[in-house]
Amino acid sequence: MWIMAETFETRLQIASWDEQPYRQLDDGSKFTKADVVLTGGGDGITEGTFEALLYYRPDGTSSYVTLMQVTANLDGRSGTFGLRGEGSYDGTTARVLSSVIDGSQTGDLAGLTATIESVSTQADYPFMPMTVSYSIE
């Protein structure tokens, strides 16, 4: 059975961002871990938390991976789900593309498949804009 995907844009406020280095190299590159809390969404995704492992190059650009847990209300169905993402920062724009982790969906969102893309610049702060594409079986 084919289900049409829905797409919408939303944004969550970055309530806290705690990032700490855990390995610094002689060339100026470093590895860090960030713990982030997102709040204030009202357009489908209501809140979330994520952890990111980041690698910073000496020029300040980075590559990273994320694991996120979000609470959502989509099409009148509520629950939570986990996302796995991969992103980059080019010195101006941060980009991350995340997809639902199979088996992480709870409540009425048990049949959810989704991707969430975030593209943001410093001008978006303290918000994280998101484009959400999803379907629920």
Task: Report how far apart the first and last C-alpha atoms of the chain are (Å, whole number).
Answer: 9
pLDDT in tens, 69-108: 999 999 899 999 999 999 999 999 999 999 999 999 999 9
Average pLDDT, the chain: 94
Q: Which pTM does this prediction carry?
A: 0.91
d(CA 48, CA 35): 11
Output the pLDDT for position 1. Answer: 45
Give the integer Cα–Cα distance in Å for 127 and 40. Answer: 10
Sorted by where each starts, the structural domains of the chain and their CATH numbers stand as 6-136 (2.40.350.10)
